[in-house]
């Protein structure tokens, strides 16, 4: 659709540029006319109710609202006048919030962010909800995929066209939602149709997101049932089975092994979670959460081992270090243990021994001049030839004048004219011959002179010198990159092992044994027939298309996969990682030896070429000094004679 033109409500032109992203409902494009905006185009034109909702939403747009949401700014119509989408603020430098839930995603995308950053995002998230509620809007469809976060911790909500807004007495409902973020009172209804949501229902969703941030992706209603019966997440939410509860003495659901306990939280935060998850009313408001998170951040303690390990101030020791040392569970992956292997140390010391000496070549002048020289005296006979020629020409001219005056002398003039012309030709020929002799004399010395000049100013070995220099520079640069290449390879090794463990964890979730929103037996059969039987297999949808499973259904499957993955804890196989890292270091060590040998060889070649050029230049300069006075003298002699016969008529 790139290049398609839409018109805004006031006639503003919007031309689609490149596609930025999209989902089951529509696609988002950049806009040629305004780089600060993007345009969402629905795959199907909205119905009358949705169109009216969008028109009303554009009237609510404000600077404050757009700080925290990609809010509709202008509705757009196609060439036929149909409403097809809306424009909104372009969010640059933002990533999905769920990228903060897993240690590997945090390491890749937020490598310098620790637990304090998660708390900071939680506070900003609460502020965003508070500002949206102040505008009389209810988010409704809350999930970690339609929330974005920047590297500074700023939060922005997207898919705002699904929010619940009120126009007078009429509600434009939010009739979609994700199970994990839906409060029990709504789940019990069994449908979102015509349900009026409130800031209190949003408060449940907000509390769930804050819990996931503080508990590193773990959800409040997923855990382990010591009994035989499994309790699914929907049942747990409906029955207030808060797995981390410190108050419920009869609870059946408990945190998964190696999870952070609620007791690790300060009392005000723990109490807020109890209110949010064990009651249907009077849940903590976003403003209350913002205040609690502000206090929580102030009281965080700093670990002395890792710059990423911040933890609640009421704890006596760092829980992340405890998980690491006692259970081999890594909740934060930093680079404190990436040390340069011995095979790659002292590279700069080696390079310092091969400093490139700049080749500054002087240039010689090609001018045929030499101080103190004068043209040699021209023999007198050549002056006589010149004057004789001049006199003959004058006579010829006089005769021509007489001829023009009277034709009676025609017979006498012709013999005289012929004699004079012969005289001119005889004198002019001698001048021309002498001129040629002097030109030949110049050519005899200027040829060797110009050749010496060319070889001096453009040494033939200079091309080889430059080529060798470039090879040497490239090899030195490649040698310098080896330590950073090792860091990159080590991260790749860690990522490979992490993804293998994560895939292994997802393989335990069979699609037929779990509830997936929007997926009944028929759809499950479709994907199972294509080899998609577990949460791990969902990733195949990135390469494989399944008939009947479009973008919207794929999005539902990936959301389910992501939800199943939140219970994953990473216990790395350190010995295997260490072994593969050692092999990588050994391989780079061999590359280093090869590069160093090539550098030595090229440096020797360069030194020899450099010396050869210097010796050659000395010899050429000596030849130049010998030839320059000769060529300068020949040029002076030629110029002097040319001045003698400068009239063209004398060069016959």
Between 1 and 173, whose confidence is greater? 173
Is residue 350 over pLDDT 90? yes
Mean pLDDT, residues 339-361:
86
Specify whether the CB–CB gap between 342 and 480 falls below 8 A.
no
pLDDT above 90 as % of the chain: 75
Considering the domain architecture, whether residues 345 and 310 belong to the same structural domain is answered as no
Q: Give the domain-ending residue among 284, 302, 327.
A: 327
pLDDT interval class at 649 (50, 70, 90): very low
Give residues with Cβ within 8 angstroms of 174, minimum separation 6: 138, 139, 140, 141, 162, 163, 164, 192, 197
Q: Residue 534: inside a domain, yes or no?
A: yes
Cα distances (Å, whole numbers) of residue 231 to 216, 279, 441, 514, 515: 22, 19, 110, 11, 12
Global pTM reads: 0.75
Q: Residue 302: inside a domain, yes or no?
A: yes
DSSP code per residue over 387-410: HHHHHHHHHHHHHHHHHHH-GGGH
pLDDT of 394 reads 77
Q: Residue 53: inside a domain, yes or no?
A: no
Q: How many domains does the chain have?
A: 3
Specify whether the CB–CB gap between 267 and 273 falls below 8 A.
no
Considering the domain architecture, whether residues 360 and 314 belong to the same structural domain is answered as no
Is residue 412 over pLDDT 70? no
DSSP code per residue over 251-293: ---BPPTTPPPGGGS-HHHHHHHHHHHS-SSSPPPHHHHHHHH
* CATH number for the domain harbouring residue 79: 3.30.200.20
Find the range with the poorest average confidence among 39-53, 339-353, 464-478: 339-353
Considering the domain architecture, whether residues 273 and 344 belong to the same structural domain is answered as no
Considering the domain architecture, whether residues 155 and 205 belong to the same structural domain is answered as yes
pLDDT of 400 reads 67
Mean pLDDT, residues 485-506:
93
Considering the domain architecture, whether residues 31 and 156 belong to the same structural domain is answered as no
Specify whether the CB–CB gap between 568 and 531 falls below 8 A.
no
Is residue 361 over pLDDT 90? no
Residue 318 has which token pair? 């760092």
Average pLDDT for the chain: 90
Phi, psi of 19 (to 5 degrees): -75, 130
Q: Which domain holds residue 235?
A: 91-327
Considering the domain architecture, whether residues 351 and 302 belong to the same structural domain is answered as no
pLDDT of 25 reads 84
What distance in Å separates the CA atoms of residue 66 and residue 410, rounded to the nearest whole number? 109
pLDDT of 17 reads 95
Q: Residue 438: inside a domain, yes or no?
A: yes
Q: Give the domain-ending residue among 272, 295, 327.
A: 327
pLDDT interval class at 401 (50, 70, 90): confident
Considering the domain architecture, whether residues 25 and 163 belong to the same structural domain is answered as no
Considering the domain architecture, whether residues 233 and 270 belong to the same structural domain is answered as yes
Q: Residue 80: inside a domain, yes or no?
A: yes
Query: pLDDT of 172-217, one tens digit each?
Result: 988 888 899 999 999 999 888 889 999 999 999 999 999 999 999 9
What distance in Å separates the CA atoms of residue 501 and residue 570, rounded to the nearest whole number? 7
Q: Give the domain-ending residue among 294, 327, 360.
A: 327
Q: Residue 303: inside a domain, yes or no?
A: yes
Residue 189 has which token pair? 């209804």
pLDDT interval class at 1 (50, 70, 90): confident
Is residue 630 over pLDDT 90? yes
pLDDT of 132 reads 96
Mean pLDDT, residues 87-113:
92
Query: pLDDT of 303-338, one tens digit each?
Result: 999 999 999 999 999 999 999 999 999 999 886 556
Give residues with Cβ within 8 angstroms of 306, minimum separation 6: 114, 318, 320, 321, 332, 334, 336
pLDDT of 404 reads 65
* CATH number for the domain harbouring residue 322: 1.10.510.10
pLDDT interval class at 19 (50, 70, 90): very high
Considering the domain architecture, whether residues 289 and 355 belong to the same structural domain is answered as no
Considering the domain architecture, whether residues 322 and 400 belong to the same structural domain is answered as no
Query: pLDDT of 105-129, one tens digit each?
Result: 998 899 899 999 999 999 999 999 9
What distance in Å separates the CA atoms of residue 215 and residue 466, rounded to the nearest whole number? 59
Considering the domain architecture, whether residues 513 and 369 belong to the same structural domain is answered as yes
Q: Which residues pair with 171 in a beta bridge?
A: 166
> How many alpha carbons lie under 13 Å from residue 275 in its C-beta half-sphere?
16
Q: Residue 342: is it exposed, middle or buried by C-beta count within 10 angstroms (0-12/13-18/19+)?
A: exposed
pLDDT of 650 reads 41
Query: pLDDT of 379-397, one tens digit each?
Result: 988 888 878 877 766 776 7
Q: Residue 566: inside a domain, yes or no?
A: yes
SS3 call for 647: coil
Q: Residue 57: inside a domain, yes or no?
A: no
Mean pLDDT, residues 57-71:
93
Residue 648 has which token pair? 């063209």
Considering the domain architecture, whether residues 636 and 517 belong to the same structural domain is answered as yes
> Can you give the three-state secondary structure of 482-513, one letter per residue?
HHHHHHHHHHHHHHHHHHHHHHHHHCCCEHHH
């Amino acid at each position: 659709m790139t290049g398609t033109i839409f018109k805004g409500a006031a006639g503003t032109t919007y031309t689609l540029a490149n596609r930025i992203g999209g989902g089951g409902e529509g696609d988002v494009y950049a806009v040629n006319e305004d780089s600060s905006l993007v345009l969402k185009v629905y795959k199907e034109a909205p119905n009358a109710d949705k169109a009216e909702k969008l028109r009303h939403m554009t009237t609510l747009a404000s600077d404050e609202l757009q700080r925290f949401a990609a809010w509709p700014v202008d509705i757009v119509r196609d060439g036929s006048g149909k409403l097809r989408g809306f424009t909104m603020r372009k969010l640059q430098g933002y990533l999905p919030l769920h990228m903060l839930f897993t240690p590997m995603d945090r390491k890749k995308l937020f490598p310098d962010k620790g637990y304090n950053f998660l708390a900071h995002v939680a506070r900003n998230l609460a502020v965003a909800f508070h500002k949206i509620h102040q505008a009389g809007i209810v988010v409704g469809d809350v999930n970690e995929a339609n929330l974005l976060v920047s590297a500074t911790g700023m939060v922005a909500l997207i898919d705002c066209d699904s929010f619940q807004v009120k126009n007078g007495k009429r509600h434009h409902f939010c009739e979609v939602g994700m199970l994990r973020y839906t409060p029990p009172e709504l789940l019990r209804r069994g449908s979102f149709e015509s349900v009026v949501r409130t800031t209190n229902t949003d408060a449940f969703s907000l509390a769930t997101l804050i819990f996931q941030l503080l508990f590193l992706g773990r959800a409040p209603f997923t855990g382990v049932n010591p009994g035989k019966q499994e309790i699914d997440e929907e049942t747990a939410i409906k029955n207030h089975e808060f797995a981390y509860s410190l108050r419920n003495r009869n609870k059946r659901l408990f945190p998964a092994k190696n999870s952070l306990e609620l007791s690790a939280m300060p009392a005000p935060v723990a109490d807020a979670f109890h209110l949010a998850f064990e009651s249907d009313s009077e849940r903590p408001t976003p403003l209350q959460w913002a205040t609690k998170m502000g206090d929580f951040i102030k009281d965080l303690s700093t670990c002395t081992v890792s710059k990423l390990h911040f933890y609640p101030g009421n704890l006596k020791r760092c829980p992340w270090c405890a998980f690491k040392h006692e259970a081999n569970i890594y909740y934060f992956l930093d680079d404190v243990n990436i040390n340069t292997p011995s095979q790659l140390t002292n590279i700069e010391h080696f390079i310092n021994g091969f400093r490139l000496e700049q080749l500054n070549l002087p240039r010689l002048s090609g001018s045929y001049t030499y101080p103190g020289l004068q043209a040699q005296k021209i023999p007198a006979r050549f002056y006589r030839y010149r004057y004789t020629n001049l006199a003959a020409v004058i006579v010829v001219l006089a005769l021509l004048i007489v001829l023009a005056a009277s034709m009676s002398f025609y017979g006498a003039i012709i013999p005289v004219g012929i004699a004079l012309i012969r005289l001119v030709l005889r004198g002019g020929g001698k001048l021309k011959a002498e001129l040629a002799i002097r030109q030949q004399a110049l050519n005899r010395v200027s040829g060797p002179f110009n050749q010496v000049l060319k070889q001096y100013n453009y040494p033939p070995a200079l091309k080889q010198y430059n080529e060798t220099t470039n090879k040497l520079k490239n090899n030195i640069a490649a040698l310098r990159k080896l330590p950073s290449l090792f860091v990159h390879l080590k991260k790749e090794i860690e990522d490979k092992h992490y993804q293998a463990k994560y895939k292994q964890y997802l393989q335990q979730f069979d699609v037929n044994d779990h509830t997936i929103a929007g997926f009944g037996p028929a759809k499950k059969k479709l994907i199972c027939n294509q080899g998609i039987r577990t949460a791990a297999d969902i990733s195949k949808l990135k390469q494989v298309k399944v008939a009947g499973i479009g973008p919207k259904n794929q999005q539902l499957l990936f959301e389910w996969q992501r939800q199943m993955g939140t219970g994953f804890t990473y216990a790395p196989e350190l010995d295997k990682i260490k072994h593969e890292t050692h092999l990588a270091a050994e391989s780079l060590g061999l590359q280093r030896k090869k590069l160093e040998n090539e550098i030595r060889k090229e440096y020797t070649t360069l030194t020899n070429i450099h010396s050869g050029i210097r010796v050659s230049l000395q010899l050429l300069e000596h030849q130049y000094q010998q030839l320059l006075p000769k060529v300068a003298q020949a040029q002076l002699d030629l110029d002097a004679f040319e001045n003698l016969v400068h009239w063209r008529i004398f060069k016959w």
